[in-house]
Amino acid sequence: MKIASIIAVALFGVGLVAGLACGGDGGQATGPTPTQTPTGQEVWVTEEDSGGTVTIGLDDSLIVALDSNPTTGFSWALVSISNTSVVMNVSNEYIPNPTPTGEPIVGSGGEEIWTFAPQAAGTSTIEMMYARPWESVEPAARFNITVTVE
């Protein structure tokens, strides 16, 4: 009985390693994969650009940099992309503000950096909101930008 248990655990481990090596994601859905890998320039926009329009090339990437302080419970959320055949979100991360020591300060803010990749020529609008996910109230801030891909 003990040998059968050891074999079962070993086979499970081999299967898990093989699944991850072959691109398995642990059963979590990852959504559509962008068809373009940006190799051009990074086009940056910030909260000051909200409500405006930006034009990027098919080889570019769009970087949206928004002030954020997750220690307050607030974070930016992607509300919608009007046309995902034109542009898709490929990543987002929080980067704390730099400090003299290089160590983040508890309670200090930073920026959320959202990266979008063009998929095809066209126009799409990105809408985001800054809110506490558990609250059912109006967001503290909104961001939207119309993206034209040429």
Residue 96, token pair as written in the block: 């704390």
Q: What is the pTM of this model?
A: 0.73
| Nearest Cα to Cα of residue 58 among 43, 68, 47 | 43
Cα–Cα distance measured from residue 24 to residue 12, given in angstroms and rounded to the nearest whole number = 14
pLDDT confidence tier of residue 38, bands split at 50, 70 and 90: low
Sign for the CA dihedral angle at 103, 95, 30, 130 comes to positive
pLDDT confidence tier of residue 1, bands split at 50, 70 and 90: very low
Average pLDDT over residues 105-128: 95
pLDDT reading at 34 higher than 60: no
**DSSP assignment string, 90-101:** EEEEEEEPP-TT
Residue whose structure tokens are 């954020």: 68
| Nearest Cα to Cα of residue 90 among 64, 109, 120 | 64
